[in-house]
Amino acid sequence: MEQVSLEDRQVFDRAAARLVLAWSRSGLTINEVSELSGIGRSTIYRYLTGQRFVSSYALMHLCPILHVSSDWILGIEGDTLGAPPPGSPLASVVGHG
């Protein structure tokens, strides 16, 4: 397996954390995201856990479903996603951007 630098690992971890946040806010199940995106459940799980870095192909399909930009997922733009939607279980956890 290829050696990953600490900087790359931090990018992977940030992308995974942001995917988890966007997915949680969407209210969709992994099965629903898989069906809508055409990406396998196990692959999505690996993205969410940071076991696999999300590809540009996956970002093209996941970002519209999760209502986020690929730049946000990758940490290129903004540090916050904003306030969770009303009634979201994350409303008490995520800061009101």
Q: What is the pLDDT of residues 11-48, one digit of tens each?
A: 888 889 999 999 999 999 999 999 999 999 999 999 98
Count of Cβ atoms closer than 10 Å to residue 50 Cβ:
17
- Which pLDDT score, from 0 to 100, does residue 3 have? 79
Average pLDDT over residues 54-74: 92
| Residue 81 confidence (pLDDT) | 58
User: 6-74 — its CATH code?
Assistant: 1.10.260.40
Instruction: Give the tokens for residue 22.
Output: 């966007």
Q: Above 70 in pLDDT, residue 1?
A: no
Which residue bears the tokens 């904003």? Answer: 82
3-state helix, strand, coil in the chain (%, to 5): 55, 0, 45
Query: Is the pLDDT higher at 84 or at 74?
Result: 74
DSSP codes of every residue in 34-46:
HHHHT--HHHHHH
Residue 52 has pLDDT above 50, yes or no: yes
**19: Cβ contacts below 8 Å, ≥ 6 apart:** 47, 48, 54, 62, 66, 73
Higher-scoring residue by pLDDT: 86, 24? 24
CA dihedral 96, 61, 39, 11 (to 10 degrees): -60
